[in-house]
Amino acid sequence: MKLQRIKKDHRTTSADTYFVSPAGISLTAEQWATFKKNIPGVEQAIKKLESKS
């Protein structure tokens, strides 16, 4: 089973050096497709919350 892995990049004190965090999530192809499909709705909800503050 192929998984989509999402991890956070970290920047060291020198701006040109990055490393990948060992922590993250792995999604199946179906989960990844659902996640991508819902991104616009999440962005819209964030904008709505930001406009209230």
Give the pLDDT band (50/70/90) at residue 15: low
Give the pLDDT band (50/70/90) at residue 50: very high
Lowest mean pLDDT among 3-12, 21-30, 32-41, 43-52: 3-12
Cβ(25)–Cβ(4) below 8 Å: no
pLDDT tens for 37-47 read 999 999 999 99
Question: Could you tell me which residue, 14 or 27, shows the higher pLDDT?
Answer: 27
- Listed by start position, the domains of the chain span 3-52
Cβ(7)–Cβ(24) below 8 Å: yes
